[in-house]
Amino acid sequence: MPISSSGTFPATWTLPSSLRKTSAVSFTATVALQCRSTRRQPDGVFRRTYWTIRPSISAIRSFCPVTTVLPRAPLCSAGDWREEYPSENPIAVERDVPGCRREAGQGSRFGRLTSDGVTTDAPESPPPQTSARPRRSRGRRVRLVVSAVLAVVVLLCAAVGGISWYFAGVATQVDHSVEYRTEIVDAGNGTVTLPREPFTERPGTWALIWKGGRALLGPVVGGGKKRVVRRVASVLEGTLIKGAPADIDHWLYDSDPKTALGLDFQNVTYPSKVGPMPAWLLPGASPKSTWVIGVHGRNADKAETFRAMRAVHATGLPMLSIAYRNDVGAPRSADHRNHLGDTEWNEVASAVAYARANGATGVVLYGWSMGGAMVMTTLRKDPSFVRGVVLDSPVMDWSATLDKQGDDRHLPRFVTDVAKRMLSKRIGIDLRDFDQRPYAPRLRTPTLLFTTAEDATVANRPAFAFAKAAPPGMVTHIAAQGDHTEAWNVDPAAYERALTAFLTRTR
């Protein structure tokens, strides 16, 4: 029969095992509902039917208080109760043996027995077990973060490697193409109008080149903020055309010594490790004298040496202007790459041997830009036949020059460092061998050094340091205005005076 809020029932009344893990509140709610459905069975034991629908806590408390009073009964042993599963509901039910009771304080699975009866105070719920899923989620997030970081690192390394490889390729690329940086705005009445740029307004002696044409320029005679007007000294070839792409050329000429300067010369070849090399030989007063060997720069041509020819010829010294591997009309190297002088210096040594075989009593090595690095390497290998050295905007430290060029391209320094390592492996060069500063204290060969204040190609500081570290009086340093190898163009007369004086002392 139903139990009222104030009724009693035998000690065999038990609570369902499904409430083992419930909180005190949910346990109370379940007991309050189930106390209305307790029935006495034929065997004398109360059993209950359990329902899955639970009313609200407030409603349950109003209909059925959850504390009852039990009559005294003998104590039950631990094995006197068991679970049954009524057919009406698949929820386990604890069943006590008739006529016994549990000891005060003896724990039920769902409540606690007291000396007066059972209370529905639920035991403390066990601490919730930490689900493995959050751990797995955290582990997955960590793996995703690590994967993302690795992907970024790989992409960064690929980008740095690609940029470095490209930069190393540019440094060693053989390229004899012509770049036109400006255009002819107007021409006529013995003048030419050009956009105002540092290289178009610079005072000095220059040539203007365009496709199929060349003209020698005179001084600036007019212009404004955006235009500069220069006098045209002479048109060597072609016709000045308005709107034609053009550029300023500091070599002045591009033909041969006879056509350009009216100087007699011979086309000769000298033997080298990669085959016969072409050269221009300008005879002097006697072949049995000191020869001047002119060595042009990277991706340049023998025409770069034109500016020194008149002064050298005036001293009566023979001059041999050489081509080297990968030049136009010269044998190519196996990889068709510039090696920054690391292999090309062999041609300078071969030219020295050719001069000696043809009567030279000594040589003055004369190098422009990378040609200066080749000259210095040759001097260090064997200075015995070298009477003097002339360096015009020389590369005195390739590492510093590559740093400068990387900075000009806005490359982070670590990218440039990677590029230098790639370059070293790519062409087999040890850049440390091309830092000439450690050699300066041991220098015993008179040296004439030209540098330019606005050199945008080569780092000047190593040249300054070299001149300072050399023995006193061994290096004559001429600091001029202008860009790379433009000391002659800015002031031809001053340049030639210094060169003539030096050759006279060392012949």
Q: Which pLDDT value is given to residue 58? A: 53
Q: Mean pLDDT throughout 221-250?
A: 96
First to last CA, the chain: 137
- Band of the pLDDT at 328, cuts 50, 70, 90? very high
182-249: CATH topology: Thrombin, subunit H (2.40.10)
Domain with CATH 3.40.50.1820 in the chain: 257-397+435-506
**7-41 residue pLDDT tens:** 443 434 444 444 444 444 444 444 444 444 444 45
Closest by alpha carbon to 389, among 363, 359, 424, 420? 363
Average pLDDT, the chain: 82
C-alpha torsion angle, residues 130, 134, 136, 142 (rounded to 10): -130
AA letter at 74: P
261 has pLDDT over 90: yes
Per residue in 165-178, is it b (16+ CB within 10 Å) or e — as a string? eebbeebbebeeee
Q: Which pLDDT value is given to residue 100? A: 52
Q: Mean pLDDT throughout 186-213?
A: 96
Q: Would you say domain 257-397+435-506 falls under CATH 3.40.140.10? A: no
Q: How far apart are CA 377 and CA 429, in angstroms?
A: 13
> Going by C-beta distance under 8 Å and a sequence separation of 6 or more, which residues neighbour residue 241?
184, 187, 210, 213
Q: Which pLDDT value is given to residue 28? A: 44
Q: Mean pLDDT throughout 416-431?
A: 92
- Band of the pLDDT at 131, cuts 50, 70, 90? low
> Going by C-beta distance under 8 Å and a sequence separation of 6 or more, which residues neighbour residue 339?
172, 333, 427, 428, 429
237 has pLDDT over 60: yes
Q: How far apart are CA 403 and CA 414, in angstroms?
A: 10
Closest by alpha carbon to 205, among 246, 244, 233? 233
pTM attached to this predicted model: 0.71
Q: How far apart are CA 19 and CA 2, in angstroms?
A: 21
CA-based torsion, 78, 81, 84, 88: positive or negative: negative
Closest by alpha carbon to 325, among 292, 261, 370, 285? 370
Domain with CATH 2.40.10 in the chain: 182-249
**347-366 residue pLDDT tens:** 999 999 999 999 999 999 99
